[in-house]
Amino acid sequence: MNCEFSGKISDRLSRLAIELPTWGFADTGTRFGKFLQDAAALTLEDKLDDAAEVHRLTGACPSVAVHVLWDVPEGGARALADAAAVRGLRIGSINPNVFQDQCYRHGSVASEDAVVRRRAIQHLLDSVALARAVGSRTLALWFADGTNYPGQGSFVRRKRRFMDALREVHDALDPSMRMLVEYKPFEPAFYHTDIADWGMAAAFARHAGPQAKVLVDTGHHLPGQNIEHIVAFLADEGALGGFHFNDRHYADDDLTTGSIDPYRVFRIFVAIAEAERATGRDLDIEYMIDQSHNEKPKIEAMIQTVTTVQELFAKALLVDLEQLESARAANDIVAAEECLKSAFATDVREALAAWREARGFPRDPLAAHRSSGYTARAARARLPRKQASGGSYA
C-alpha cells in the first residue's frame, strides 16, 4: 500500500533532526579486533566531512555528536565549532570519556579512590565548559562504572557517589543546557553496572535536577524488555531526554537501526507520536545515532540508518490515533492492533522520495552516495595517511 504524506506529516518529518556520531565514521571493532576500512575517517576533519556528506544527501543531520577525548582538536572548542560550521554542521551532544584511561580501571565517579572520582568529575565539568564554548546544549553521559564480582563494591556507596557527582555537574550547566543520563544493563562490567536500567537513570536524573533527563539507547535493554513502554513512561514523566539509535540481536550490538527489528523502532515512534498528540507539541528530545559500523561501509550504514529512521517515523505518524483510542475504549484488541499493523505495512518510500525531492534532496540518498564516488575518493586520500601513521594500517 503506497501513500502520500499529508502536510502535517511532511512538516513533522522536516523537524526530525537526526544527530550523527563522529565515532560512526572511524574504524571500530569489537574486543576481538578491529577490521580497518580504507575510507574510514582518521581525523576530526574526516569525520565531519563524512557527516557533511550524509547531511548533504539527506538534509536531516545538522548536528554531530563528539567524544571529548577522541574529537577535540588542539585548537580546542573554537576549532571544533569552526570545523563543523565550515561544513554546514554544528556540534551536538558532548560525550565525556570517563571509561578508557587506566585510572578508571575500577570506575570513575564511583571509584573507591577519591582522586579518581575528582578527576572524573573534573572531566565532566570540563565537558560542560566545552559544550558552552561550542554552543552545544547537550551533555550525553554514559558511564562504564560497575563491578565484575559479587562483593566487589558497595551498591549503595557507589549510588551515592553518582548522586553527588551528577548533582555537581548538573549545577554547572547553563540554564539552556541539559544532561542526558544513559543506562546500560552490562558491558564492560559483567556483574553490575551502576546505571543499569531506566529506573536508576531516572532516579539519578531526578536527584541531579530539572535539567537532567534519561537517554534511551535502544541497544541497552535485556532481551524482552518493552522499550516503547519505557519511552512512553519516561515521556509522560517529562524525563525523556533522547535516544541513541542502533539495533541488536543479542546485546549492545550497535547494528544499524531497524536492521533486525524495524517493528520495534516503529512502536517506539508510535509512543512518541502519542506523547506529542497528548501534549500538542514536539517532544524536546534528541534523536541520536550510536552505532559501530564494523563491516558495512560507514557512510552507507549511516545513510541507511537515517532513511530507516525517517521511514519508521513516517509510518508511526500514519497511525490513526483517534481510531486507536476508540478501539482501546471498546477493548477491540484486534482493531487497536490493526491501527499499528496497517500503518507499519504502508510503503512510505515513494512518499519519502517525493518529500525529499520537493526539498531539494536526492530521492534515494543511498543510491546517490553509492554512485558519487565519495568513498573511493576518501580511500585514496586517507589510506596513504593511514599507512604513513604506521600501526595496523602498515
Q: Which is nearer to Mn ion, 59 or 185 (CB)?
A: 185
Angle at 111 between CA 107 and CA 114, to 5 degrees: 140
Partner interacting with residue 95 (select from ligand AFD, Mn ion, none; CB below 5-8 Å by kind): ligand AFD
The residue with its CB nearest to ligand AFD is 142
Binding-site ranges for ligand AFD (CB under 6 A):
95, 142, 182, 184, 217, 244, 252, 254, 290
Residue 244 within binding range of Mn ion, rule CB under 5 A: yes
Residue 182, CA distances (Å) to 203, 218, 270 in order: 12, 11, 22
Using CB under 5 A, which of the segments 107-115, 251-259, 265-273, 354-362 binds Mn ion? Answer: 251-259
Residue 42, CA distances (Å) to 24, 297, 305, 373 in order: 11, 14, 21, 19
Angle at 220 between CA 186 and CA 44, to 5 degrees: 100
Q: Which is nearer to Mn ion, 94 or 324 (CB)?
A: 94
Q: Which is nearer to Mn ion, 99 or 344 (CB)?
A: 99
Which residues lie below 8 Å from residue 177, measured CB to CB, with a gap of 6+? 128, 131, 132, 136, 137, 138, 139, 211
The interface mask with Mn ion, positions 118-137, x = CB under 5 A, is --------------------
Angle, in degrees to the nearest 10, between helices 114-134 and 76-85: 40
Residue 50 within binding range of Mn ion, rule CB under 5 A: no
Which residues lie below 8 Å from residue 60, measured CB to CB, with a gap of 6+? 16, 17, 18, 306, 310
Using CB under 5 A, which of the segments 211-219, 260-268, 271-279, 326-334 binds Mn ion? Answer: 211-219
Least separation in angstroms between CB 223 and Mn ion: 16
Location of C-alpha cell 492492533: 337
Among residue numbers 213 through 232, which ones bind Mn ion (CB under 5 A)? 217
Query: How is residue 255 annotated by DSSP?
Result: B
Least separation in angstroms between CB 214 and Mn ion: 12
Residue 209, CA distances (Å) to 138, 162, 205, 231, 334 in order: 15, 13, 6, 20, 42
CB neighbours of residue 59 within 10 Å: 17
CB neighbours of residue 227 within 10 Å: 20
Q: Which is nearer to ligand AFD, 88 or 188 (CB)?
A: 188
Least separation in angstroms between CB 374 and ligand AFD: 25
Answer for the pair 279, 236: CB distance below 8 angstroms, yes or no: no
Query: How is residue 177 annotated by DSSP?
Result: -
Q: Which is nearer to ligand AFD, 104 or 142 (CB)?
A: 142
Residue 290 within binding range of Mn ion, rule CB under 5 A: yes
Q: Which is nearer to ligand AFD, 186 or 233 (CB)?
A: 186
- Cα distance between residue 207 and residue 186, in whole Å: 23
Residue 53 within binding range of Mn ion, rule CB under 5 A: no
Q: Which is nearer to ligand AFD, 290 or 311 (CB)?
A: 290
Least separation in angstroms between CB 326 and ligand AFD: 39
Least separation in angstroms between CB 291 and Mn ion: 9
Q: Which is nearer to ligand AFD, 289 or 368 (CB)?
A: 289
Residues that bind Mn ion (CB under 5 A): 217, 244, 252, 290
